[in-house]
């Protein structure tokens, strides 16, 4: 997965393995029918992953 991303976090553009913790993100959430297939997963820094979910929650509340 990381190799497919060229070892870069797609959210911040920084190298994945820069000492920050890494999370696996489902592009389409499992609760919404997403799968654990490689095409639906991304490696993100933990802080970036939190930011993605924070933004998604805000957009749902509007």
One DSSP character per residue, the chain reads: -TTTTTTB-TTT-SBS-SSS-EEEEESS-GGGT--SSGGGEEEEEHHHHHHHHHHHHHHHH-
Residue 56 banded pLDDT, cuts 50, 70, 90: confident
* Tens digits of residue pLDDT in 10-51: 999 999 999 999 999 999 999 999 999 999 999 999 999 999
Over 90: is that where the pLDDT of 59 sits? no
pLDDT value for 19: 93
Q: What is the pTM of this model?
A: 0.83
How does 21-59 read in b/e, with b if 16+ C-beta sit within 10 Å?
ebbebeeeeeeeeeeeeeeebbbbbeebbeebeeeeeee
- Tokens in use for 28? 């389409």
Q: Where in the sequence is the domain holding 33, given as residue range(s)?
A: 1-62
Q: Is the pLDDT of residue 58 over 80?
A: no
Total of domains in the chain: 1
């Amino acid at each position: 997965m990381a190799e497919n991303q060229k070892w870069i976090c797609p959210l911040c553009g920084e190298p994945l393995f820069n000492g920050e913790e890494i999370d696996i993100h489902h592009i389409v959430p499992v609760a919404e029918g997403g799968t654990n297939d490689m095409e639906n997963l991304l490696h993100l820094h933990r802080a970036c992953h939190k930011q993605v979910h924070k933004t998604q929650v805000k957009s749902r509340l509007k």
